Structure 1
């Protein structure tokens, strides 16, 4: 099972039951999203908290930073907002920018960045094999847990197949940077989609023939899978989420 984002080190956060970490991450992201974008100090506190957490669990910034690039498309969208929005204008570096657009861009960038950072922290400290187990313990519908299982199992296989297709095109003289080759690239993407769909059907039939009924087993006691959370785990493991909620609430109170 793919573990590209998982950092196999020992830390207090690695030992927290997976269902507690999932709830903590979701609640923290919701708290960040609910924070007024006009207040700057709450986001500074969120960032400091993440830096302290990364230091505690030995996640270096050199590991986090390249993986944060996944949010670049949203950053590009946010950069365009100050030019496209209407309303009051303000001069910035000789350019007339929309005040509401600047605030909207700031909100998208800071909340998106913090959300991606929280997600990467969860991925770095949680073995992918535990995620379906945690979802099952949280009473998430079985079909969603099944989708997560198959995604984690086959995402790297699809990435490897895509890489093989790219190498095959290059070996036959394809230049992916040439505009006239865009049709070949599009056909390759379509072919990969069809192969993925066919693979999914074969896997489903194979699982059904072996008695799979859509429910993920608890797997308690299996090596690499943490035990179910007890009250103490919930109390300690959700502390970051409680702090994030407190910061968000305080921002609204002093707004």
Structure 2
């Protein structure tokens, strides 16, 4: 019997657009079999067909759907990219809608919990697994109007740190990437309830924000380091953004 090199499997949540879709494409190009998970079936089916992956319709806030994702992904799984997330609203604490906060916590923290719990057995079975959570610079700093999102993304960061401590000694790496200003098709538009003008203002005059492919490129780099190298956290911003409050605009 000849030696067979089995393909490594990656699961990417929130794969229907933006960073998730770009990451799925980049991982496929790097030789992974990619399980593309998101709520919008038609989008991930097109993506999976393009990259030779598998599409699984899944809302990460629904435990039954997450369990079905784990079953569809099979075992072993070598890489989990917890990318599903989102920001809703930009109101000050005084007038913020608790429903927006609940929705953000639900996807950015509890969704990450559901998917990680469901896939841990398959990651363990790989003998060399990686959990890579997509956080944000919002998980490191406060800014006006951002409390609900910054609270949720601080949650993403702290869950990542805790998991790394709890899995120490096991063959599973736990990493976080924290992007700053990334211009994607939908993120900011969603945040402002579909108000494209408000969304565009965020990037107004910024010469070169990051694009999804920049973040995907960094994710693939993190995931393909030698097994003993754990990139705890990687903060990535465009050159024009020195800090959350310091952005060069033309």
Larger C-alpha radius of gyration, 1 or 2?
Answer: 1
Which has the larger strand fraction? 2
Q: TM-score, normalised to structure 1's length?
A: 0.24
Alignment TM-score, normalising by the size of structure 2: 0.25
Query: As a proportion of its length, which structure holds more helix?
Result: 1
